[in-house]
Amino acid sequence: MDAPVRAGQERWVGGMLYLAAVDPLAGAEVLGEPSMYWDCPQTREVVAGWGEAGAMETGNAQEAREVLRRLSSSATVRWVGEAPASLPGPWFGGMRFAAEGNDKGWGPFGFGRWTLPERMVWREGDRLAAAVFVPEGPGAEEQVRALLVGIGANFPAGPLPSRRTAQVLRVSSSRPEFEQSVERATETIARGRLQKVVLARAVEIEGERPFDAVQVLARLREQNPRCSTFLFRAPDGTAFLGATPETLCRWEGRELHTEALAGTAPVAQAQELSGRDKEQREHHAVVRYLLEVLGPLCERIDADDAPTLLPLKNMVHLRTGIRARLREGVGVAELVAAMHPTPAVGGTPSAMALAFLLEHEGLDRGWYAAPVGWVGPGRAHQVVALRSARVKGTTARLFVGAGIVAGSKAEAEWRETELKSLTMVKALGGLEG
Ligand SMILES: C=C(O[C@H]1C=CC=C(C(=O)O)[C@@H]1O)C(=O)O
């Protein structure tokens, strides 16, 4: 097995300053499209990054685990002058849902990829801070000072100006194929070999003009205030972006926050959701799985007594919050390895569901439905990359899925995935006006 690529670098030099500015994304006005973006309203984290001072790429799950362990166990940055009290990251990235896949469009993302931005701007309390990073070496401190002077002098003080980017989108996805795989799944469930499987499909979108990633992000965060908005960019410029309602794990020291999120209804049927048996079964498969896989890693676990409703713009989900105190030595690497994929995106029994997906889904999920987020010493925040799309030029490939259990109907599952696709379709500039 090859060792993870570490860009030949073990340590970086960083510097920081505070900015008289209000919006990290506004930096796109002078720095161009960001290389990463992260916006989590629940934790008030907002980060935009430009360039790459370092990248760690992995070819498989084992290497991804090693990289997560390394980035979370020791500091990779030596600070010149003032060090930030706390900062999200500073490593940002994600990994594939599964090892197998034949969609060349995912090639540039690799199996897993985490980057340290050259410049990053984030919200710290009520103000914005900027940090710059360069590889450790001769002249590194001077480079850090020069980059800081540049960002301090040029970062826009005001909010991101909004540009009108609505356009006509050509949207295509195969309904018969999706519905057939739902039927195949319910047959397999009826034979007792599976209890739940989450089937996904891709939607191809062609715009009249290239998509403007900055405006897509601005729409995603504005239209989805209960979701984490994210963007990760591959070295060829392809962007993977979305606004997900699902946290995989928020980890700090010995504390873990996670959640089960499964079971969906349109907003108009929100009040009926809690009483629906099919949605409850879909949901409880996730709760049971999380308690089972987390048990050996935790000293104490505390789950909500019953799911509550998580209202989003176009739909409502069932949500059970879970908090835990971790055993000594358990960190983000162990958590991701144990938790991913949860039955909110895979199924139960897990191995059986993944084999079913490989055989029947006919889709390379790439980074969709996989863990993405940030990691730093002793802390990490990973979300499940749902309501997302891979975007390059005028083309977007969007991904949506739905949990199938006994009693699922192909047509209803299609409609549910249509509903889920609205998050990205609207953000891409469709359905406006
Ligand atoms: C798989 C997706 O959603 C998951 C998360 C919440 C609710 C879900 C559901 O009700 O099926 C899915 O498990 C997706 O958005 O592509």
What is the per-residue pLDDT for 3? 39
Whole-number Å distance between alpha carbons of 107 and 115: 17
Residue 278 annotated among the catalytic residues of the structure: no
Cis bond before residue 349 (omega within 30° of 0): yes
Name which of 4, 264, 250 is nearest 110 in CA terms.
Answer: 4
Q: Contact at 8 Å (CB) between 290 and 309?
A: no
Per-residue pLDDT at 173: 83
Q: Which atom number of ligand 1 is nearest to the Cα of residue 343?
A: 13
Distances (CA, A) of 163 to 211, 216, 229, 330, 429: 12, 10, 19, 45, 11
C-alpha distances in angstroms, 402 versus 78, 199, 201? 45, 6, 9
Report d(CA 400, CA 48) in Å as an integer. Answer: 26
pLDDT of 8 reads 61
Residue 357's pLDDT is 98
Report the C-alpha gap between 269 and 287 in whole angstroms. Answer: 23
Q: What is the DSSP code (8-state) at residue 116? A: E
Q: Which of 55, 414, 2 is nearest to 199 (CA)?
A: 414
Structure tokens at 209: 């003009």
Q: Locate tokens 């987020």: which residue?
A: 373
> What is the C-alpha separation between 156 and 159, in angstroms, rounded?
8
Per-residue 3-state assignment (H helix, E strand, C coil) for 383-405: EECCCEEEEECCEEEEEEEEEEC
Q: What is the DSSP letter of 5?
A: B
Check whether the bond before 156 is cis (ω within 30° of 0). Answer: no
At residue 2, the pLDDT reads 39
Residues 6+ apart with CB under 8 A from 261: 245, 246, 286, 310, 317, 318, 319, 344, 384
This model of the complex carries an ipTM of 0.99
Q: Give the E-state strand segments of 267-307 in sequence order.
A: 298-303
Domains and CATH numbers, the chain: 12-154 (no CATH), 170-231+245-427 (3.60.120.10)
Q: What is the mean pLDDT of each run of 10 residues along the chain (433 residues)?
A: 51 97 97 98 97 96 97 95 92 96 96 98 95 96 98 96 83 92 98 96 96 96 97 98 98 98 96 94 97 98 98 96 98 98 98 97 97 97 98 98 97 97 94 57
For the record, the structure tokens of 165 come out as 């980017």
Does the annotation count 246 as an active-site position?
yes
The one-character DSSP state at 363 is -
Catalytic residue selected from 45, 246, 279, 282: 246
- Closest ligand 1 atom, residue 262 Cα: 7
**Residues 323-356: b if buried by 16+ CB within 10 A, e if exposed:** bbebeeebbbbbbbbbbbbbbbbbbbbbebbbeb
Number of H helices, E strands in the chain: 10, 23
Catalytic residue among 45, 57, 118, 196: 196
Of all protein residues, the one whose alpha carbon is nearest to atom 2 of ligand 1 is 401
Centre of ligand 1 to C-alpha 403, Å, is 6
- What span, in angstroms and rounded, lies between the C-alpha atoms of 117 and 9? 14
Angle (nearest 5°) at CA 28 between 27 and 29? 85
The dihedrals phi and psi of 306, each to the nearest 5 degrees, come to -145, 155
Confirm if 207 and 396 have CB atoms less than 8 A apart.
yes
Q: Any residues with Cβ below 6 Å from ligand 1, and which?
A: 198, 200, 246, 261-264, 282, 317, 344-345, 386-387, 400-403, 420
**pLDDT for residue 336:** 98
At 292 the pLDDT is 98
The structure tokens 């103000």 sit at 127
Distance between Cα 383 and ligand 1 center (Å) = 13
